[in-house]
Each structure stands twice: as structure tokens, then as C-alpha cells.
């Protein structure tokens, strides 16, 4: 099945044909590590994790790099506020970020370069841009000369002439610092460091790299001059990715990436969810109440290019829905190896239909929203299947596909409150049975009602009493 | 109070006098990230974390660097087994290590350099050693010429002549590879990489650094040519630290570190606890049963230079004992600011005595074993104090000193089973009260006994019913 992707560069959906057969070189812009990650980050990193997983499951040999920006004005300023060094602050938030990603079952990429590891290579990159006439030094800073790259604006659909005209008009009001630039559209490749500021030695004096430079440099050194997939949040299209293209393509004279994919925002009351708006919920806040699977399903239930309107109610609705999938998955048992599992032709046919629907959705620009609706339908079908072998076979198929979405399918009932929590519930249910046996229905009803109030659903059946978290 | 430390270099206890006034430059050898951390690592990193904390509390301006070895044969081999790249494997275990350290309340050091970040500087270090006649290239490898450094053996108390004689005798049986070395005592600064192996370009061809080199190089670039405190596990004395000395002192002609401190092992049945023996318990295994404070107290209850004999029973005994400290700390209330807290002269005097005893122990080569015995005595005194103000004042002093040992003093009773766990216990106790009210003592006793069996101690008093985890 041909995979189609919406390419920001062309503005349309295209067949995905990697540069070299089944090899895929993929790069995602990672976080600037100066604060805790919020749901907006979760969405970005979950969706690209799913693309990574799906391409691998579809037989591609994917090499995935996702960077960490560990030198930046935001980090330096936050470190000053907190009273520790910027390197220590960046390291603490790198750890927090990894912790959040691990909690959300986002896999480690194959490479995870940090900006500070590539200072030497960044300096060499800038030197080559200066040699080629695409950059110039000015007072210890180095700027990219946008007018030297005729394709500037092609990703963000900006007209270079218009940008330069607008920039010339702006020049009248510019301050002394930006007067160093030939035109305000030019962007910094290297920024000089003031006395006492974080900096590295360079041919232009002590300074630090501009933000855009690190991605171009890391892609070059880790993946190569041309890659297949460059992905990131839609706020990065312009100017960040535009500037990456300008830097890399001015130097290498070949496309930086064949396909550019961008994900939409998470919005609260239709405002972008970001740190600067101060309306974010951190991932770890959310994880105190919702399972990783709930958060993954929640963000994947919207196609990656569309905005998500976030409310706690919608997250809670996802949480309730997921029980259907967990129940169906439980029929897979502990063995997740389907070898030798037999099923009836009818059950096989339902499973084959699901596989085909799931893949059709995923290969259509990674439409996880549709794929998940098929997952739910399939789960419902499994939950209604009476034949044990059929159910087992189908559940194995479900588990395999859920793992492409990165769902853990862990039954939170067994985990959320530690083994002790489960034992306490069992103790309460034993007391309830005793009360019943003594015809003390007031007590037995009270126990049941109290458990329900605590979010524990007690289910009586011929086979005995079981319970689950609501 | 003068701090005294046992210096491995001199083999005796010395007054601790930093090179520059109150500034302390401190370096600890960190882990090689190819597996989960075990209790042996926990001990090493906890003790040096306590030294870092204590020196800061004693008014020193400490800069602490602790490295991460992220390129090594062990990493390369494990990565091959697992089927992922060595960089990804090292990153996963760096995350695990950070996670374990955070769980144990081990603070991030000021700097945490990774070997792969310092390849360029390591190559320059080797070039300078070759120029100075202390190293030689042989078939793409570079070796340190031990015979060129007359003080070799001074840390590990080895006689250079004896080592060289032994080495010459060994030469008879040497293989083709070690034939490249002038003498078998010489150690690798740089190892050539075979085709397809991890490696970096160097003046001697593609290769990777020898393990000893990274610490010398990082210390030079992060802290300087001479530091105050170099610490690590006692297995590192020879040859690792000896080789660090040889490299750095041959190049800089000055002492690498003024004080060398080494901690003892954690033993199981008197065998060193290490991965190669396969008898380790991982930190995360231990943390499923024991609190971070229990593990910290357990390792700190033995002086850092002595071996610890590890048994689960001894850890459980520490776990039981810690309740006395938690109880005393609870009188500090939520405010941990003692400003304006009044106490009687008697209470003040007990607190002053404790402070003085605690500091005397800690300044005596960081004798945490004695310091903790004072902490327990003080906790017992607080638990017996009837006056609320006195108790509050003393508890604040206790909390402050416990934090020097890195104890969190978190009451696990409130945390271990999540808020739901607590509510379930409360529900059971309500049922017990009702049973009592109905004179149904069989039921109320059963509930109490069942809770005790689950490790929950129910305490009846005039003020009502409370509970705690045993």
C-alpha cells in the first residue's frame, strides 16, 4: 500500500517515495529544555513517534534523529532566575523531558543530538556559508544573507521580494544592534557573547550559535545532506524550518528534505497551548489522573494536522472509552505470539478487514483518527465474540496494531494503586461477601456504594465478584 | 571546625585545606551506562552526594563534576546483543541512571560531562602527551609510556620497577596485539577501530579513546589542571585513578588532585556487589519495597570506607528504624522555616548538642555512621518532648540536618499507595468502627488483623483511630 503524506513544501498530498528504496532518514525538532513539558509537546512527540513506529511496521528501515536544544536565551534566563548554571538547568529538564517521554511510551529515537555537542561543527558550517557568500560577520555576530538565497520563503509561502521590501521599510526604525544586519530579514547564525555570558571560542570571537543553525548542522552530520522526512510543530514552518532550508540548501545545493510534515497545536479555548501563554497543563500533572494510553489515544483521535481543543472533559471521555480496548486486549492473554493460533474463517475475515482498514487509514497521511475508530470497532467485535479461540486470535491482532500506536494496553486496575491497593479492595469485597452471607445487606450495599464513590466498579456474576476502576 | 579526610594518596587522615580558600573543585567518576544501576552504585553516588551537600552546608563554594562514560567496550557489546546502536543504548541507560539518582534524591552535579562530548579535547590531550615523550603511537593505537612517568604507582602503592620487571617477564607470552606496546604495563590512550566499529577520526586513524583518558580530559577542561577532591569507588584506585594521575601530571607537571577519597564496596556474603558477579539487586527493584530514605540511611549507616554487607534483613531493619525519625520530623509541620520559633533553654541546649555532635562526626572524614546515630538519639529526644514549641523548634533542626544527608523525610504512609490507597484504608476503618458500635467484635478484629497482615498498623487512642504503614 502506497503511503501518502501531506507535504508542506508542495502544499499537497504526495506519494511517499524515499530517496533510497526502503531506507528512511527522518528528523524531528525536539524541545528547548528550560521547563516541564506540556500536552502540546506530548502531542508533537507522540505523533512523530507513531510515524516512526508505523514506517518501521510497514517495512521501512528508519533512522530517526530528534534533537535537544540545550543552549538558548530561554535556558540562560531561567537558569539565572533559579540560581544554577545553564548547563545544569538544561540537564535537569532533559531528564524531565525523558521521564515524560518514557511515561508516555514515546520511544527513544536512534539519535538524540544536543546543540552543545555540535558547536565545532556549527562553527565549520558558518565558515563555509561565509566562504560561499551566503553569510557575513558583523560586530562579532554572523548573519545569513537572505537575499543570497533566491528560494527563501518556499516552505512558509513567503515572497522574498515582499519580505525584503517590508524589511527595508522597517529599517527606518531599527535600533543600533539590528543596524549590524544588512536587512532585518537576515537571521543570526552566530551571536556574540557578552562578558560573563555563556559562550564558545569562534573565529568571530566568543559567542553561541543561533537556534536555526543546530538542526541544519546535526542533520548534515548525523543523517546526511538530504533526508526523506523533516517533521515538527506547525509553528516551526516559518521562520525556523525556512531558515534551516536556506542554510542547508545554500551550502549543499540540494534539497534538505524531500517531505516536510507539520502537526497542529493543542488549544485551550482555541488559543495555542504553549508555555508563553501560561495556560498549559504539564504532562506529569495529567499523568497523575490519566493513563499514558488515555493521553496517547486522546491526541491521536484527531488527525495530526488539525488543532485539538483540549478540555478535561474530552480527556475523561477518552479515558472511559479505552476500557473497551483494554477488555478486548485482555483476551490475548499473556502470550502475544499468535503462531499456531487457529480461528474460524469468519473471525479471520473480521481481523483481515480490520488490518486492511487500519493500514488504509495510516497510509493516508497517518490518519490515526480513522485508524482508532477501526480499533474501537474491532474491539467491540472482539468483546462480542463468544468463541475463545476466535477471540484469542483477534485479540492478538488488536494488540499488535495498538502497539503501532504506542499503546501499552496495561490494565491500570492492576497497577494504579500498587499491589496493596488491590489487596485492600479484595479485603473490602470479602467483608461485603460476609455481610451478604449474614443477610446484612445494609453493610454490603454500603461497601459497594463506597467503592463506587471511590471509582471502583464492583461486578457480580455467576463466576464470582470482580472489579475494575471506572 | 576543621574537616579531616582520609587521603588515599598519603594513606592517612589529613586536614582538608582547599587550594583556593573556600572554593572546592570536586570530581567523581560516574557510571558506564550499559545496564541498570545496583546498590553498589547507589552507595557510591549517595556518599559523594552527601559530601557535596555537607561541604556546601559548611560554607564551601563547591563545583562538582561527575562524568558519564558513554563509549566503552561494554556498551558496544551490549548494544550488539540488544540490536540497537551503542549511542541509543547509552542514552537509554543514561536516562535509567538519572531516574534512579532522582529516585534516591541524589542531586544533579554542577557538570555531568559525557565522554563522547570530549573526543576533540581527548585527541588534543593525547597529541600533547606524544609531543612530551609520554606516549607513542603503535599500529593505530596510542599507549601511555608508563616508564616515562617516575611517580607511577604512588596512588595504588605499586612499585614502578616491580611493575616493569613483572611486565618484562610477561612479554614472553604476549600475543601479537600487545606486542605493539613497549611494555605490557603501558595502557591505551587511543584504540584503533576496526571496519564497522564505532570510531572517530584522529591523527592516528579512526578509533576511540581509552577509558582512563576521559576523566583526565574532562577535569582539565571543566575544573582545571589541579582540583581539590577526586573521589570514586575503591576499585578505581588502581589502575584507573593511577592512570589519570600519570596522564594529567605528565602533561601539566602539577598534582591532579590534592585529596583522593575512595568508598568501599557493597558485598553480598562478602563478595563485591558488581554486575560482573551477577548478584546485584537493581535500585529500581529495591525501590519497589523500600523508600529512598531507607536506602540512603542504610548505606550511610556504615562509614564510607568500610564494606557494607548487604542483606534484605538489614535493609528491613533500617526501614523499621526510620519511623522514629519520620515521627520526630513530623513535628516540624509544613513550615520548615525556624525564624521566630522560640524554645526553652533546655530544648535549645539539646539541639545545640546535637548540631555539634553531628558536625563533629561529619567533619571527621564524613563519618555518617556516627552522625546518623546522633540523628536517631535526637529524634528519640524529640519524640519524648512534650512542649509543643520545644518540639517544633527541635524538629526544624532535625529536618535541616537530615537534608544534609539527603533524606527526603517524606511520610510514605501518605504516598505509597496513592490517595486512593489511603481512602480504602479509611473506609475499612470506618467499617471497623461500625462493627464495634454494633458489638460485632469478630468483624472489627478481623479488619484490624487483615490490615496488620497487609502491613498497616492501626492505632487506637483517645483522640481517635490513626494508622501507619509498618
A178 CA: distance to closest CA in chain B (Å): 34
Q: What is the ipTM of this complex?
A: 0.79
| Homologous superfamily of domain range A7-263 | HUPs (3.40.50.620)
Name the DSSP letter for residue A222. I
Report pLDDT for B420.
67
Partner-chain residue, chosen from A92, A425, A434, that has the shortest CB–CB distance to B424: A425
In chain A, where does the domain assigned CATH 1.10.730.10 lie? Answer: 277-410
pLDDT band at B271 (very low <50, low <70, confident <90, very high): low
Report pTM.
0.83
Angstrom distance (rounded) from CA A339 to CA A332:
12
User: For all residues of chain B together, what is the average pLDDT?
Assistant: 89
Residue A449, min C-alpha distance to chain B (Å): 11
Dihedral, CA atoms, B63, B66, B71, B75, nearest 10 degrees?
-170
Write the burial class of residue B441 (CB in 10 Å: 0-12 exposed, 13-18 middle, 19+ buried).
exposed
CA distance A271 to chain B (A): 33
What's the pLDDT band for B270 if we cut at 50, 70, 90?
low
With bands split at pLDDT 50, 70 and 90, how would you rate the model's confidence at B421? confident
Contacts of A450 in chain B (CB under 8 A): 427
Topology (CATH) of B16-276: Rossmann fold (3.40.50)
B446 vs A contacts (CB less than 8 Å):
431
- What residues in chain B have their Cβ under 8 A from chain A's Cβ atoms? 84-85, 87-88, 91-92, 95, 98-99, 102, 108-112, 116-117, 120, 416-418, 420-421, 423-425, 427-428, 431, 434, 443, 446-447, 450-451, 454-455
Chosen for mutation from B30, B71, B95, B413 (greatest number of chain A CBs closer than 10 Å) is B95
The Cα of A102 is separated from the nearest Cα of chain B by a number of Å equal to 9
Which candidate from B120, B446, B454 shows the least CB-CB separation from A420?
A: B454
pLDDT number for residue B415: 43
Is A134 or B161 the better-scoring residue by pLDDT? A134
pLDDT reported for residue A263: 97
Q: How far apart are CA B9 and CA B237, in angstroms?
A: 10
The contacts of residue B146 (CB under 8 Å, 6+ apart) are B152, B160, B163, B164, B183, B185, B186, B187, B246
Which of B26 and A165 is assigned the larger pLDDT?
Answer: B26
Please answer whether residues A329 and A409 qualify as being in contact, where contact means their C-beta atoms are separated by less than 8 angstroms: yes
Specify the domain boundaries for CATH 1.20.120.640 within chain B. Answer: 324-410
pLDDT of residue B418: 53
DSSP A136: E
Q: Is the pLDDT of residue B229 over 80?
A: yes
At residue A196, the pLDDT reads 84
Cα(A438)–Cα(A415) distance, integer angstroms? 32
Q: Where residue B179 falls among pLDDT bands split at 50, 70, 90?
A: low
Digitized pLDDT (tens) for each residue of chain A, 470 residues in all: 899 999 999 999 999 999 999 999 999 999 999 999 988 999 999 999 999 999 999 999 999 999 999 999 999 999 999 999 999 999 999 999 999 999 999 999 999 999 999 999 999 999 999 999 999 999 999 999 999 999 999 999 998 888 887 766 665 555 444 567 888 899 999 999 988 888 999 999 999 999 999 999 999 999 999 999 999 999 999 999 999 999 999 999 999 999 999 999 988 765 555 554 455 578 887 887 778 999 999 999 999 999 998 887 888 888 888 889 988 998 987 554 555 678 999 999 999 999 999 999 999 999 999 999 999 999 999 999 999 999 999 999 999 999 999 999 876 544 444 556 777 888 888 888 888 888 888 888 888 888 887 777 787 776 677 777 66
Q: From the list A111, A423, A451, which residue is nearest B87 (CB)?
A: A111
The verdict on a CB contact (< 8 Å) between B420 and A447 is: no
Closest by Cβ to B424, choosing from A85, A91, A428:
A428
The count of CB pairs under 8 A between chains A and B is 97
Check: CB of residue A249 under 8 Å from CB of residue A151.
Answer: yes
The end-to-end CA distance of chain A, in Å, is: 39
| CB contact (8 A) between residue B421 and residue A423 | no
**CATH 3.40.50.620 spans which residues of chain A?**
7-263
pLDDT score of B278: 52
Chain A nearest-CA distance from B112, in A, is 8
Distance CA B96, CA B35 (A): 9
CATH code of the domain made up of B324-410: 1.20.120.640
Domain boundaries A277-410, corresponding CATH code: 1.10.730.10
Among A95, A111, A450, select the one facing B427 at the smallest CB separation: A450
3-state per-residue secondary structure call for chain B: CCCEEEECCCCEEEECCCCECCEEEEEECCCECCCCCEHHHHHHHHHHHHHHHHHHHCCCEEEEEECEECCCHHHHHHHHHHCCCHHHHHHHHHHHHHHHHHHCCCCCCCECCEHHHHHHHHHHHHHHHHHCCCEEEECCEEEECHHHCCCCCCCCCCCHHHHHHHHHHHHCCCCCCHHHCCCCCCEEEEEECCCCCCCECCCCCCEEECHHHHHHHHHHHHHCCCEEEEEEEHHHHHHHHHHHHHHHHHHHCCCCEEEEEEECCEEECCEECCHHHCCCCEHHHHHCCCCHHHHHHHHHCCCCCCCEECCHHHHHHHHHHHHHHHHHHHCCCCCCCCCCCCCCHHHHHHHHHHHHHHHHHHHECCCHHHHHHHHHHHHHHHHHCCCHHHHHHHHHHHHHHHHHCCCCCCCHHHHCCHHHHHHHHHHHHHHHHHHHHCCCHHHHHHHHHHHHHCCEEEEEECCEEEEEEC
At A276 the pLDDT is 47
Contact at 8 Å (CB) between B255 and B286?
no
Residue of B218, B418, B421, B439 for testing the chain A interface, max A β-carbons within 10 Å:
B421
Which of B87, B420, B443 lies nearest to residue A421, judging by beta carbons? B420
Considering only residues A425 and B239, tell me which one the structure prediction assigns the higher pLDDT. B239
Task: Give the pLDDT of residue A417.
Answer: 45
How far, CA to CA in Å, does A159 sit from each of A144, A149, A222, A391? Answer: 17, 12, 32, 58
B102 contact residues in A (CB cutoff 8 A): 95, 99
pLDDT reported for residue B414: 40
* pLDDT, tens only, B295-324: 999 999 999 999 998 887 888 888 888 889
pLDDT score recorded for residue B314:
84
The Cα–Cα gap between B136 and B129 comes to: 8
- Distance to chain B for A330, nearest Cα, Å: 24
CA distance B328 to chain A (A): 26
Chain A: closest CA distance from residue B427 (Å): 8
Query: Which residues of A lie closer than 8 Å to B, measured between beta carbons?
Result: 84-85, 87-88, 91-92, 95, 98-99, 102, 108-112, 116-117, 120, 416-418, 420-421, 423-425, 427-428, 431, 434, 443, 446-447, 450-451, 454-455
Amino acid at each position: 500500500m502506497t503511503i501518502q503524506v501531506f507535504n508542506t513544501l508542495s502544499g499537497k498530498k504526495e506519494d511517499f517515495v524515499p530517496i533510497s528504496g526502503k531506507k528512511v532518514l527522518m528528523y524531528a525538532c525536539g524541545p528547548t529544555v528550560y521547563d516541564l513539558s506540556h500536552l502540546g509537546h506530548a502531542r508533537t512527540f507522540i505523533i512523530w513517534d507513531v510515524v516512526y513506529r508505523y514506517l518501521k511496521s510497514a517495512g521501512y528501515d528508519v533512522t530517526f534523529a530528534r534533537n535537544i536544544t540545550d543552549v538558548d536565551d530561554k535556558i540562560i534566563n531561567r537558569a539565572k532566575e533559579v540560581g544554577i548554571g545553564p548547563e545544569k538547568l538544561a540537564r535537569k529538564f532533559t531528564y524531565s523531558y525523558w521521564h515524560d517521554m518514557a511515561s508516555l511510551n514515546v520511544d527513544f529515537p536512534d539519535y538524540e543530538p544536543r546543540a552543545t555537542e555540535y558547536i565545532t561543527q556549527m562553527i565549520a558550517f558558518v565558515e563555509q556559508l561565509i566562504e560561499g557568500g551566503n553569510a557575513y560577520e558583523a560586530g562579532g555576530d554572523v548573519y545569513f544573507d537572505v537575499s543570497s538565497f533566491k528560494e527563501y520563503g518556499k516552505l512558509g509561502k513567503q515572497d522574498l521580494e515582499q519580505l525584503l521590501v517590508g524589511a527595508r521599510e522597517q529599517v527606518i526604525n531599527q535600533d543600533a544592534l539590528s543596524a549590524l544586519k544588512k536587512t532585518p530579514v537576515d537571521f543570526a547564525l552566530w551571536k556574540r557573547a557578552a562578558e560573563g555570558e555563556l559562550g564558545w571560542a569562534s573565529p568571530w570571537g566568543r559567542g553561541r550559535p543561533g537556534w536555526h543553525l543546530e538542526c541544519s548542522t546535526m542533520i548534515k552530520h548525523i543523517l546526511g545532506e538530504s533526508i526523506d522526512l523533516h517533521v515538527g510543530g506547525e509553528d516551526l514552518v516559518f521562520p525556523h524550518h525556512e531558515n534551516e532550508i536556506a542554510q542547508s540548501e545554500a551550502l549543499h545545493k540540494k534539497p534538505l528534505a524531500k517531505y516536510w510534515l507539520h502537526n497542529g497545536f493543542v488549544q485551550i479555548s482555541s488559543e495555542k497551548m504553549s508555555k508563553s501563554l501560561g495556560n498549559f497543563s504539564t504532562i506529569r500533572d495529567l499523568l497523575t489522573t490519566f493513563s499514558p494510553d488515555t493521553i496517547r489515544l486522546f491526541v491521536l483521535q484527531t488527525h495530526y494536522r488539525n488543532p485539538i481543543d483540549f478540555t478535561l472533559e474530552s480527556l475523561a471521555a477518552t479515558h472511559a472509552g479505552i476500557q473497551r480496548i483494554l477488555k478486548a486486549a485482555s483476551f490475548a492473554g499473556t502470550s502475544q505470539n499468535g503462531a499456531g493460533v487457529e480461528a474460524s474463517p469468519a473471525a479471520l475475515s473480521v481481523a483481515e478487514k480490520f488490518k486492511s482498514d487500519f493500514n488504509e487509514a495510516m497510509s493516508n497521511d497517518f490518519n490515526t483518527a480513522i485508524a482508532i475508530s477501526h480499533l474501537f470497532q474491532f474491539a467491540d467485535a472482539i468483546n462480542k465474540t463468544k468463541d475463545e479461540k476466535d477471540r484469542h486470535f483477534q485479540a492478538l491482532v488488536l494488540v499488535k496494531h495498538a502497539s503501532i500506536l504506542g499503546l501499552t494496553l496495561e490494565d491500570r486496575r492492576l497497577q494504579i494503586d500498587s499491589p496493596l491497593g488491590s489487596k485492600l479492595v479484595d479485603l473490602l469485597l470479602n467483608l461485603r461477601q460476609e455481610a451478604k452471607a449474614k443477610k446484612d445487606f445494609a453493610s454490603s450495599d454500603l461497601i459497594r456504594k463506597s467503592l463506587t464513590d471511590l471509582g471502583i466498579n464492583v461486578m457480580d456474576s455467576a463466576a464470582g465478584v470482580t472489579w475494575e476502576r471506572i
